[in-house]
């Protein structure tokens, strides 16, 4: 089975960057505790207030199940609340792993 990769690009207002960064650890802890198939994530800061979250999942089904849960835990909710707007969201398969 191939690893599924979630690529989410979003904007964060300058006054919410600190909230985004401080809530990240709790969000990841909530994902590890509550999301079957969560393998890890990397957050990339891009120019012009944009960010890219690269999340790896054991399978597409695990990713879909996680998406259905939404912001169901406090750490996830705090992270999501710091996001101003969604730019794009894509799903792919890891090609080199």
- pTM of the prediction? 0.93
Where helices occur in the chain by DSSP H, the ranges are 17-34, 60-69, 74-81
Domain span holding position 80: 4-90
| Total count of domains within the chain | 1
pLDDT tens per residue across all 97 residues of the chain: 689 999 999 999 999 999 999 999 999 999 999 999 999 999 999 999 999 999 999 999 999 999 999 999 999 999 999 999 999 999 999 998 6
Is there a domain that residue 97 lies in? no
Is there a domain that residue 95 lies in? no
Is there a domain that residue 96 lies in? no
Is there a domain that residue 78 lies in? yes
- Give the tokens for residue 34: 């509550």
The domain that holds 82 is classified in CATH as 3.30.70.100
Is there a domain that residue 38 lies in? yes
Is there a domain that residue 28 lies in? yes
């Amino acid at each position: 089975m191939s690893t599924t990769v979630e690529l989410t690009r979003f904007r964060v207002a300058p006054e919410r960057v600190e909230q985004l960064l401080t809530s990240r650890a709790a969000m990841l802890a909530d994902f590890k505790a509550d999301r079957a198939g969560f393998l890890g994530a990397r957050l990339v800061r891009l120019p012009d207030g944009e960010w890219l979250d690269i999340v790896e999942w054991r399978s597409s089904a695990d990713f879909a199940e996680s998406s259905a849960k939404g912001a169901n835990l406090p750490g996830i909710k705090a992270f999501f609340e710091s996001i101003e707007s969604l730019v794009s969201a894509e799903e792919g398969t890891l090609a080199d792993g």
